Amino acid sequence: DLFNVSIDIFVSLVMFYLAAIAIAIATCFTAVVRGEVGEDPTFPRYHARPLKNWMNDPNGLMYFAGKYHLFMQYNPFSPTFGNISWYHMISEDLVSWKHLPLALSPDRSWECGGVFTGSATIYRNDTSGQDMPVLIFSTACGDYFALATPQNLSDPEL
């Protein structure tokens, strides 16, 4: 009996993995047919990354207003290190990603040419009860830490 149960469990697991692989292949094929990933055969289909240029560590993944938001260090001008900004992508399923405008870019003198490492979190205002995404980051020179909040909380893409 134990042997039969083990075989049943094994067959169920194999069927589950085969179904998962079939879904992954179908999703990838659909994305390629729709042209969402471009013509580059080396572009990762499931690894969230900018469409071009240099990227570094992810600086925050958060779930807000029905969407996952991913932020990462990024150079919008070159495939090499420099001009550090934060790239922003959103997803409803962590598989399909929409690329958005930069979330943070060094536009103040005290940012010393770059917005570096940090994190993302959701802050709940105890007075209003409203949730608000907050980005926390350090500057290129390491002299400052700062907080950034969305300009428009009603925008689901922030």
Among all residues, which ones are annotated catalytic?
57
Radius of gyration over alpha carbons of the chain, in Å?
20
| Range 135-138, long-range pairs (CB < 8 A, 24+ positions) | 135/59, 135/60, 135/71, 135/86, 135/103, 135/104, 137/59, 137/86, 137/104
Which tokens hold the place of 123? Answer: 């802050």
